[in-house]
Amino acid sequence: MLSALKKQRSINLLPQEEFSRSVAGRILSWVLSTFRVIIIATEMIIMGAFLSRFWLDAKVADLNDEIEQKKTILLSSSEFINEYENIQTKLDAVSKIGKLTSSDKLSQVSKFIPEGVILTEYSYTDKEITLVGQSQEEEEIARFISNLSSIPDFQEVDLTQLGSKEAADLIINFTITIKI
């Protein structure tokens, strides 16, 4: 009799037999079961996201450590990089100077130097070459100037200075300016 009382005391707003047979009852039953599935699926997605957060946090920590290591390597090699760039700049400047001195002009001049003429200085700019040298005879200097005048790249060959330091000195110093 106690169990009969418990059955009578339970309140069920949805009558089972009559309501489940009607269209509204079947729709309500389907909606309730569908919402249960949706709630369970949502809870599973939330749990997956919560658990994946631990994996993602570990991944972020590893990436931050890797960034710090690479940053340390870059900072330690920055001095080397700066030194390399300075050397590269110097090498570029030297190569530009090498192009300015134009070894082909020097080789053209050296082909026409007579035996008795010694060049002591050589300077080169874009428009002018200056040669300073010594000789024991004036004829050799004249021959040298004549030879230089025959080079087609040289527009004007001038003897700008001629003389010796002492009267008894047999060596004649000269300076030749060549306009290119």
Instruction: Give the pLDDT confidence score for residue 68 in this predicted structure.
Output: 95
Residues 14-19, mean pLDDT to the nearest whole number: 64
Which segments of the chain does DSSP mark as H helices, in order? 2-9, 16-19, 23-101, 103-111, 138-149
pLDDT of residue 169: 65
pLDDT at 171: 85
85: left (phi over 0), alpha (psi -120 to 50) or beta: alpha
Of 80, 176, 71, the closest CA to residue 122 belongs to 176
Q: Where are the domains of the chain?
A: 17-101, 103-179
pLDDT digits (tens, 9 = 90+) for 124-143: 877 888 899 998 888 898 89
Tens digits of residue pLDDT in 28-60:
888 988 999 999 999 999 999 999 999 999 999
The pLDDT assigned to 64 comes to 96
Mean pLDDT calculated for residue range 139-165: 86
pTM score of the predicted model: 0.44
The number of residues in the chain equals 180
34/28 Cα distance (integer angstroms): 10
Please give the CATH architecture assigned to the domain spanning 103-179.
Answer: 2-Layer Sandwich (3.30)
| Structure confidence at residue 147 (pLDDT) | 87
